[in-house]
Chains A and B, each alone.
Chain A
């Protein structure tokens, strides 16, 4: 566009110069951005999880649960604070769940109740209630209880947990009878932590 132009006539010369000047002016005033900004939305996530002490369970011997009469139940032998659960419990999900399921103490030596009307009153089962109490921080519920008289577990939302806990047995009672059949009895308490963000 710029360079040596051959001029033919006076009019032509002026015209060519005008064209050149116009082109240069356009170049000089061409719009150009001198700044740009961008926003970047960063997102990330932290997974909900729970940790506790050693898992797999532990055994608590209750000893002889017989009362003073034959086949009676000494409830004080069952209704106990079993103390702290092993290790601290930590859950980082605000909707974390804690459930407990009490499994009745059941005679391990006698698989079924004797038949016949004369057997009425005998029982091979002791029901009880199990309660977990959280002793530290929880953003939701701080305890949950379940009775072996009903099937299934009981679950509550405990949310964030940074706590210890203890297990309390209570409300023990002979199921459907008055006399416990002799033998070894075993029950269980299943505690479950379910992380949930």
Chain B
């Protein structure tokens, strides 16, 4: 990214070359040639978000929680500047809708799950790589223990100085992977029904 930044703020020199005209025709002091030099600078605005058509699905059916399983949720980042990735879990677990109260300990209405994030990025040295991290959903709360949980500043510090642009087709596929375990043998029974959670994920330009 520094390379891009350097290009963006590099001084562009414009040399304007005047045509030599006969002094008499111009009525000016005769000169053989002249030049003007202008220093022009510009910047490329930081851009960070989902690539066109690359936003994660707004709704994902994980299927059955009767046994262990996982589900991938692909997305594509388009950030021309170092960026931050954050994720938060609204309920810290998959929680049964229409919760029942006063259940005995032999039943549970929450299923813990993990979120593995893989971000395909281009490093400062030009190499393409995948940044991965796995966290329990329970740690994806504000100021949670997960490296990509949202901190008190509203940001994480997960992705360092890498960038990921949509035109960079050599990058590894970015995705979330949601994984859950089998019920604990001899442990509480998962109550039948529909379970849900809301994951909120963001990419921010690192300023």
Which of these binds chain A: B98-106, B117-125, B141-149, B162-170?
Answer: B98-106
Given A7-B19, A160-B103, residue A45 in contact with residue B195 (CB < 8 A): yes
Most chain A beta-carbon neighbours within 10 Å: one of B63, B178, B192, B207: B192
Which of these binds chain B: A90-98, A145-153, A169-177?
Answer: A90-98
Any A CB within 8 A of the CB of B111? yes
Residues of A contacting B18 in the complex (Cβ-Cβ under 8 angstroms)? 7, 13
Q: Give the total number of A-B pairs whose CB atoms are below 8 A apart.
A: 170
Residues of B contacting A137 in the complex (Cβ-Cβ under 8 angstroms)? 104, 106
Looking at the assembled complex, report how far the CB atom of B48 sits from the nearest CB atom of chain A, in whole angstroms.
5
Given A37-B201, A93-B192, residue A42 in contact with residue B107 (CB < 8 A): no
Q: Is the Cβ of B195 less than 8 Å from the Cβ of A46? A: yes
How many residues of A sit at the interface, in one of the four size bands?
35 or more
Any A CB within 8 A of the CB of B94? yes
Residue total for B at the interface (Cβ-Cβ under 8 A): 63
Q: Is the Cβ of B66 less than 8 Å from the Cβ of A40? A: no
Residues of B contacting A5 in the complex (Cβ-Cβ under 8 angstroms)? 14, 16-17
Chain B interface mostly helix, strand, loop or mixed? strand
Any A CB within 8 A of the CB of B177? no
Any A CB within 8 A of the CB of B68? no
Looking at the assembled complex, report how far the CB atom of A114 sits from the nearest CB atom of chain B, in whole angstroms.
53
Q: Is the Cβ of A94 less than 8 Å from the Cβ of B191? A: yes
Looking at the assembled complex, report how far the CB atom of B85 sits from the nearest CB atom of chain A, in whole angstroms.
11
8 Å CB contact of B16 from A13, A40, A49: A13
Given A37-B200, A39-B199, residue A90 in contact with residue B189 (CB < 8 A): yes
Query: Which positions 74-101 of chain B face chain A at CB distance < 8 Å?
Result: 75, 81, 94, 96, 100
Q: Is the Cβ of A47 less than 8 Å from the Cβ of B202? A: no
Looking at the assembled complex, report how far the CB atom of A57 sits from the nearest CB atom of chain B, in whole angstroms.
25
8 Å CB contact of A45 from B104, B194, B204: B194
Any B CB within 8 A of the CB of A11? no
